[in-house]
Structure 1
């Protein structure tokens, strides 16, 4: 007897394409778990053997790290929040995480956009999350025209000479012409 709800009968390994953004929603929910953990630690400190690895894209827009670290890690960097870090802050309004760390005995504050973070792990409990980095949404802005106090005169628009209408007949296969 066949089970109509048996997922092993389905040959595909991935869900069917969806018009709903499930992948983005899962990414956002996982990032929320990470942010909750970081906020908890910023208030309460790390308990027991817990510690975090944060992997982020150093070349992502808005990442603020010292130039020497950017030169050493031009694309990606993993930091460890365990014994010596300070001022861990999650700013949900700015969508950033900031933390003070020491690199080679030199203290630095790192500011990381949440969207730049590609990995979060707590090795003490073998917990890890992986995220797809997403580019920040740019707000649509229109350049402001200086106002002169006079109504604008509309000028006829010139035709764009680079725009052309192409006939599909030029691409159709031509058979023998009728004689």
Structure 2
């Protein structure tokens, strides 16, 4: 079989690197201005660590908001750790970059969506660094949060 350039994998790594760089800057200097992030991730992905009661509420996908209150943001090569407040209950989460499905900063109308297809998912399972393609998207939530979470329409943040 002829060798090809795997643009999808290259784009995947570049976009995950961008997220790592942004979060690293926030960990070091805090959130500038009105910037804040909505990050949706696959809770079933290897390496995800969340409290069992949160996993029960969000068995396949979860969206977190990094804005007013967060603590202990630690950015690592393969993912990040952060403590967030869930109904006056601080919980630590560990999220590998490979688990991220969307990354949105509504303050500047910036968003990334990592598309996966069934075929790409099978390739990821077979190859450690398999990669869905990332693309710029309009910042829209994937699904309404469940439980006691508040539903937020991102249009209200647009200027």
Alpha-carbon contact 2:20-2:79 (below 8 Å) kept? no
| Residues 1:69 and 2:54 aligned together | yes
Instruction: Could you list the structure 1 runs, at least 4 aligned residues long, displaced by more than 3 angstroms after superposition.
Output: 132-136
Which residue does the alignment assign to 2:100? 117
Which residue does the alignment assign to 2:40? 55
Question: Which of the pair is proportionally richer in helix?
Answer: 2
TM-score (norm. length: structure 1): 0.63
Which residue does the alignment assign to 2:86? 103
| Residues 1:91 and 2:76 aligned together | yes
What do residues 56-78 of structure 1 show as CA deviations (whole Å, max 9, x unaligned)? 00011111000011000000001
1:126 paired residue among 99, 102, 109: 109
Measured in 2, the distance between the counterparts of 1:34 and 1:62 equals 17
TM-score (norm. length: structure 2): 0.70
Aligned residues: 119
* Structural RMSD (CA): 1.8
Which residue does the alignment assign to 2:128? 137
Measured in 2, the distance between the counterparts of 1:132 and 1:27 equals 10
- Structure with the greater alpha carbon radius of gyration: 1
Alpha-carbon contact 2:38-2:104 (below 8 Å) kept? yes
What do residues 122-174 of structure 1 show as CA deviations (whole Å, max 9, x unaligned)? 10000001124655729xxxxxxxxxxxxxxxxxxxxxxxxxxxxxxxxxxxx
Higher relative contact order (CA 8 A, sep 6+): 2
Gaps of 5+ in 1: 1-17, 139-179
